[in-house]
Structure 1
Amino acid sequence: MIVRAIAVILVLELVACGYLFVQRAARPVPMLPEKTLMNPLFAEDIQPLVKQVAQTNNAYDWMRLGEALLGQGYYSHAELCFRRVLKLMPESRLAESRIAYCLERTGRTEQSSEIYRELNNSPDFSREAKREQMQALYELGRNALREEKMGEAEKLFRQNLGFLPARYQLSKLLIRTDRADEALTLINESLQQVPGSLKFLELQHRAFQQTGDLELAEQTAQLLERAQHTIPLHPGSNFIEPFRLQYGIDRHVEEFNRKIRNRSLPELELELVKLIDQLNDSPSTHRQIFLMRLLEVQHQQQLPRKMLETVQKLNNMGINNADVLMYRAEATGMRGDWNQAAILGRRAGSMSKAADMHQRLSDILLQAGKTEESQLEQALTYRLEAMEYYRADKLAEALDKIELAVKINPDDPQSWYERGLIQEARGERKAAQSDFQECLKRAPLHGRARQKLSVEPATN
């Protein structure tokens, strides 16, 4: 009797084990990119996701793995994950939209458009669904553009005028097909919704040029210098950014950026050295970025020997830009050779129009005993800062800075010209004209100042 009971138990255990083995074997294994093609930090980060998928085989885990792959640009592998989600959860519109995006990114626009059409024809009338439909209709238009079906694209964008990116694409298409007058109506309506939009102002400038209205084109060109990005032209890809930041090297970058606030400089230096070592054999631009951050930390700690070692590593990678050269100049100066530092600093300054670069050059020249040259660099720094404020539409701050530049170096025609631009933007027409004249006194061949004085104020 006991033997029979034991036999029954053994049979049941064998059946259960067999069932579990067959079930586990039937679970699909995720297809991953070749390990040699992946950043080693990303390959390490997704292992828990791969393990979770193998254990649970549920839609949520497949979605997370797909999104991780999507964030790193592995579209074909991400697509397979999203198709698995759709198999486990056929009603998932999110999985469908992700598949459509992957198809679009890998050049299969016709298949992508089929899915977007289904999403656009949804019977759901909720606010979220309406937004999703507008997005799908926009992506359909973009796919038509990729396939060079201009008529179809125009029709789709016209159906979607409530969506600003579609309005932008239609305006662009109208200008390309010599219908600038019609485009201007759309552009002006759009600028009422998003004043100061960089992209719509660019289109307005092109449209005015096409219609031959050079006076209004000039006005728009001035506004463009202070315009901002206000509409996303690729809203379909905006969702990728969070996934990119959650895994691999980008996760380490984000963690490092959070640590900056609370860590001491030596601790940050050790953290950067560790990250750089991890990326030593990886073909990643992040190694260059981290080396530049390391230079900055070493500079703040006044460690010239270490700075020069880091500069050499960057030079060995073929990187010898203005920033690297300026750090080399500063390290050379810290070691006592300010004359050589001045030579290197001048070379770096000639390669850059960044205000902070010229401020650093001014400081080096002062240390080298070249006071007059340092003052001229300081004036240039103020002028460059003024234009940064000007482009950010902070005109009061811009005027303060340009006044300092003119005070230090009144012989610089460009300072007078740029002060004229700032005065013009502030509505001070007479003061602007006076500044343009002062520019021409010092540089009679200054073309843009001459143009400014020749253009009459617009009536509108």
Structure 2
Amino acid sequence: MTRLQKLLVAAIALELAGLCFWWRRYSRPGALPPVDWSACMIEDTVASEIRGMESRLQFNDPSGWAELGATYRAFGLFPQAEYCYRQVDKLSPKDRSYLYYWAECADLMGRTRAATKRYRQVIDAKLSVPLGLQTIQYCWLNIGQDRLREENVPAAMDALRQAPDIPKAKFLLARVLIRSGRAKEAIALLDDLLRDSPGVIEYNQMKSWAEDELGDQDAAQEFYERSLRSRQELSKSDPTYQEVLERRKSMGSQSWHEKSLQLETQGKLQDALEWSRKAVQAFWAEDRAQELARLELLTGHPKEAIALAEECVNRVGASAKTLDIIGVASVQLGDRARAQRVWEQAIELEPTPNLYGKLAELRRLADDALGAARYRSLEQYQTGKDAWLNNDLTAAREHLEKAVALYDGHPHTWFYLGETRRFLGDIPGAKAAYRRCLQINPDHGRALRAWERLNQESRK
């Protein structure tokens, strides 16, 4: 081939490359994947806003595609979101955060290999978007979870080890190690997690299992008991989920509901009521109806509040919050008997100090001193139990001792008082509390086990 021919071939190749680049960047994409709105659990106002975004889209604008993709993703339309991110990729934008979101969409559709490919792009490019310095470690966490879904444990462990600063990655690795017969390695990871977050239920449960695997029954029992007085749960969602929630709040009737909440904090109750009513009329949801009922109460409309609460019961069943609203409205209407009935029903669903306090006040107004004292005792018991579940043992003991001083016939109060005293090192006090619990209810299983354990320890 002559020199001239070589130059001509090179020129043609460059021209073809430029043509391909131009076509890739400026060619109009095909139609968006259709959405069957009738089959979606998406309200009409949101669907209308999304259709508006589609109609305004500029096909060569990467930010427009990214915004539409984020909206699709927020409402679970993952094939449509993936299509948008593919168009963003063709336009080669400077902001490459779309790669992580694209990978998430593939994950959420069960396409783990496609997801891993995108996460690898983020890792190879050393990107710090969208999650800052931890972006790459979150990619490794997600790759590890994908390998676990595929039951490829060795590859999962390798990936999870690449995310040492992500608590969830450490936790998953510890769980895999325990199941692989390597509990000693798992304990080192769990100790790190518990050092930073001692109140997480799952960490304490896992540490108990690991100690049990190693044959240390005392340590296993200790961490099992810690898990019982813990409330904090390990977050299961990706950090980007907060973006999803914020986007949902900004669209459709949910934005009206959020506006109502904001107006209420500003003391503009009538305006808040109007926006709340508008949100409920557009799309009924239990939390919205409860909020509207509460605003009706605050603006002096108890009958309207009861009607809204009863609709909640008819649609989705009773909840403590809904029944509480009916109780408050009933008191405002002078029907204390109904208030007592619904508050007692609410306690069966979700006992709270607030509900016990309201029942105590009703009994006081009825000149029932014994009934009032019993409910005040249960109010203190529930407050103490809440403190116990938050591992605040000093506060728990204070409230539980107040509870038994008001009424000493509730076995659970004595049991939790016994547990609290035992954890605080007051063994004689713990024995006295367990003994009283068993006098009231000889078949209280946890009290029987605790009593037996203390007796065994005293014989050692």
Q: Same fold (TM over 0.5)?
A: yes
Q: In the TM superposition, what are the counterparts of 1:15-54 in structure 2 within 5 Å?
A: 26=28, 30-31=32-33, 33-36=35-38, 37=40, 38-46=42-50, 49-54=53-58
Q: In the TM superposition, what are the counterparts of 1:127-138 in structure 2 within 5 Å?
A: 131-138=134-141
Aligned position for 1:171? 174
For residues 308 and 385 of structure 2, what CA distance do their matches in structure 1 show? 32
- Answer whether contact 1:383 1:405 (CA < 8 A) is retained: yes
For residues 289 and 191 of structure 1, what CA distance do their matches in structure 2 show? 35
Residue 303 of structure 2 is aligned to residue 305 of structure 1: yes
For residues 342 and 189 of structure 1, what CA distance do their matches in structure 2 show? 49
Q: Judging changes above 3 Å, is the alpha-carbon distance between structure 1 residues 337 and 426 closer, same or farther for their aligned structure 2 residues?
A: same
Per-residue Cα deviation, 1:113-144 (whole angstroms, up to 9, x for no partner)? 12222333336799988632222111111111
TM-score with structure 1 setting the length: 0.82
- Answer whether contact 2:127 2:135 (CA < 8 A) is retained: no
For residues 71 and 352 of structure 2, what CA distance do their matches in structure 1 show? 36
| Letter of the structure 2 residue corresponding to residue 342 of structure 1 | Q
Aligned position for 1:158? 161
Residue 106 of structure 2 is aligned to residue 103 of structure 1: yes
Residue 417 of structure 2 is aligned to residue 403 of structure 1: no
- Answer whether contact 1:180 1:207 (CA < 8 A) is retained: yes
For residues 165 and 224 of structure 2, what CA distance do their matches in structure 1 show? 27
- Answer whether contact 1:119 1:133 (CA < 8 A) is retained: yes
TM-score with structure 2 setting the length: 0.82
- Answer whether contact 1:134 1:163 (CA < 8 A) is retained: yes
For residues 262 and 225 of structure 2, what CA distance do their matches in structure 1 show? 38
Residue among 53, 59, 62 paired with 2:62 = 59
User: Secondary structure in 2 aligned to 1:399?
Assistant: helix
Aligned position for 1:197? 200
* Larger displacement relative to structure 2 (115-124 or 146-155): 115-124
For structure 2, the residue ranges without an aligned partner over 5 or more in a row are 1-24
| Letter of the structure 1 residue corresponding to residue 408 of structure 2 | P
Per-residue Cα deviation, 1:265-300 (whole angstroms, up to 9, x for no partner)? 3333332222111115xxxxxx21111112222334
User: CA offset at residue 24 of structure 1?
Assistant: 11
User: CA offset at residue 91 of structure 1?
Assistant: 6.0
Aligned position for 1:78? 81
Q: Judging changes above 3 Å, is the alpha-carbon distance between structure 1 residues 231 and 40 closer, same or farther for their aligned structure 2 residues?
A: same
For residues 235 and 314 of structure 2, what CA distance do their matches in structure 1 show? 38
User: Secondary structure in 2 aligned to 1:455?
Assistant: helix
Aligned position for 1:259? 263
Q: In the TM superposition, what are the counterparts of 1:296-445 in structure 2 within 5 Å?
A: 296-445=294-443
For residues 384 and 211 of structure 1, what CA distance do their matches in structure 2 show? 37
User: CA offset at residue 162 of structure 1?
Assistant: 4.3
For residues 122 and 24 of structure 1, what CA distance do their matches in structure 2 show? 25
- Answer whether contact 2:199 2:391 (CA < 8 A) is retained: no
Per-residue Cα deviation, 1:198-247 (whole angstroms, up to 9, x for no partner)? 33212112223444433222221332244354764443644533333332
| Letter of the structure 2 residue corresponding to residue 313 of structure 1 | E
Q: Judging changes above 3 Å, is the alpha-carbon distance between structure 1 residues 352 and 95 closer, same or farther for their aligned structure 2 residues?
A: closer
Aligned position for 1:4? none
Identity percentage of aligned residues: 20
Residue 118 of structure 2 is aligned to residue 115 of structure 1: yes
Q: Judging changes above 3 Å, is the alpha-carbon distance between structure 1 residues 304 and 245 closer, same or farther for their aligned structure 2 residues?
A: closer
User: CA offset at residue 67 of structure 1?
Assistant: 1.1
For residues 101 and 400 of structure 2, what CA distance do their matches in structure 1 show? 50
For residues 126 and 290 of structure 2, what CA distance do their matches in structure 1 show? 53
- Answer whether contact 1:27 1:57 (CA < 8 A) is retained: no
CA RMSD of aligned residues (A): 3.2
User: Secondary structure in 2 aligned to 1:93?
Assistant: coil
- Answer whether contact 1:349 1:361 (CA < 8 A) is retained: no
Residue 277 of structure 2 is aligned to residue 279 of structure 1: no
Per-residue Cα deviation, 1:72-119 (whole angstroms, up to 9, x for no partner)? 222111111111111112665312211111001001111111222233
For residues 443 and 345 of structure 2, what CA distance do their matches in structure 1 show? 27
- Answer whether contact 2:419 2:430 (CA < 8 A) is retained: yes
Per-residue Cα deviation, 1:295-314 (whole angstroms, up to 9, x for no partner)? 22233445332223213322
For residues 91 and 346 of structure 1, what CA distance do their matches in structure 2 show? 60
Aligned position for 1:182? 185
Per-residue Cα deviation, 1:322-367 (whole angstroms, up to 9, x for no partner)? 4333433444444344334433433333333222222233333444
